[in-house]
Structure 1
Amino acid sequence: MAAEKDLVIADGGKKKKLLFIAGGAVLVIVLAVVGFMLFSGGSDTGTAGSSGDGGQVAANDGAGQAKGNALYVPMPRPFVFNVPGASRDRMVQIKVQLMVRGSNNETIAMRHIPLIEGSLLQTFSSANADELVTVAGRDALKNKALSDLQQAMIEVVGSVVVDEVLFTGFVMQ
């Protein structure tokens, strides 16, 4: 009787091993199918989404091509300046890039870097430290810098060259 119990346990162990291996194989197959669907199906979905939006993208590109491609002009050095605050003055360092449309505007912006730097520094140094602490204050400073810069470029060049002023680094001590 003891021998029969050992055989049953040993036989059940083989079935458990077989079920474990079969379960692992099924798991691997399921993971492979899911991975295939995610990676190849995702690109098909993206393609379908792109073609579905293709009319809108083409319409937007038509308007964008009239202006040109977005290009980014980095300022050669960061702006470092002092701003007054309620409790104490603070030092600010801002790294800036300008978004322009088209290679012609990029060339114009590169040619007028001293004018751009002067205009931005004048706008930045008129800020208040208490305003620059908040995100809304930094956004307001970016918008004011953009409008001042566009006005300065219109006076010199005769057209709007810069579409966006982007802060790529902002440190206040």
Structure 2
Amino acid sequence: MADEELQVEEGAKKSKLPLIIIIVVVLIAGGGAAWFFLFSGGDEPVAEEVAGEGAEAADSASAAAAADGAANIGTALYVAMPRPFVFNVPGSGRDRLVQIKVQLMVRGSDNEETAKMHIPMIEGTLLQVFSSSNADDLVTEAGKVALREQAVTEVQKVMKDIAGTEVVEQVLFTGFVMQ
């Protein structure tokens, strides 16, 4: 009887041993994977929020109005793009995934309605401009400013062709994340 109990206990210990080994291996592999994903990035920041966009936009808007010689009529209104732009850009080290949230600054309710009516065309133009950029340029503030200025120029050109006026005064980045 004692031999039978001893054999039962050894059988129970033998069946638990592989389970314990599997659990330990899974925990080590999970910890290693978590460490790799959290700490394997380069020296450059993973996510950046663009700060000071509103002040720069106001300065450049007033400079543009003064340069034109005639002030734009109407109050500044903001048209939000319905969804953020998500796209891949090539970089020297690796390709990056970029997400940009955009709002358009327009003057007057007529331009606001025109911009809302042509959102698909504006989205297509912005995506074309954004996806032609380079990750190495987007890491710097100067690269982001150049991208924003190029976006304004292209959107104004498309809107002038479609609506007869530039409609959009500024393209504002309200969110900018690059991974």
1:125 is aligned to: 131
Spell out, residue by residue over 1:101-156, the C-alpha distance to the aligned partner (whole angstroms, 9 max, x if none).
00000000000000000000000000000000000000000000000000011111
Name the TM-score, length of structure 1 as normaliser: 0.62
- Please list every run of 5 or more consecutive structure 1 residues that lacks an aligned counterpart in the other structure: 1-59
| Structure of greater relative contact order (alpha carbons < 8 Å, 6+ residues apart) | 2
1:70 is aligned to: 76
| One-letter amino acid of the counterpart of residue 81, structure 1 | F
| One-letter amino acid of the counterpart of residue 145, structure 1 | A
Correspondence 1:81 to 2:87: yes
Correspondence 1:115 to 2:121: yes
Correspondence 1:155 to 2:161: yes
Indicate which of 143, 151, 160 corresponds to 1:137: 143
Spell out, residue by residue over 1:38-93, the C-alpha distance to the aligned partner (whole angstroms, 9 max, x if none).
xxxxxxxxxxxxxxxxxxxxxx9xx65x5210000000000000000001000000
Within a 5 Å distance, the mapping from 1:14-93 to structure 2 comes to 64=71, 67-93=73-99
Q: Give the superposed CA RMSD.
A: 1.2
Indicate which of 157, 164, 173 corresponds to 2:170: 164
Secondary structure of residue in 1 paired with 2:166: coil
Secondary structure of residue in 1 paired with 2:77: strand
Secondary structure of residue in 1 paired with 2:114: helix
Quote the Cα distance in structure 2 between the aligned partners of 1:74 and 1:67.
Answer: 21
Quote the Cα distance in structure 1 between the aligned partners of 2:165 and 2:84.
Answer: 26
- Please list every run of 5 or more consecutive structure 2 residues that lacks an aligned counterpart in the other structure: 1-65
Quote the Cα distance in structure 2 between the aligned partners of 1:101 and 1:138.
Answer: 24
| One-letter amino acid of the counterpart of residue 148, structure 2 | K
Name the TM-score, length of structure 2 as normaliser: 0.60
Q: Between Structure 1 and Structure 2, whose CA radius of gyration is higher?
A: 1
2:104 is aligned to: 98
Structure 1 runs of 4+ aligned residues shifted over 2 Å read none
The percentage of aligned residue pairs carrying the same residue is: 65
Quote the Cα distance in structure 2 between the aligned partners of 1:67 and 1:88.
Answer: 46
Q: Normalized per residue, which structure has more helix?
A: 1
Quote the Cα distance in structure 2 between the aligned partners of 1:156 and 1:72.
Answer: 20
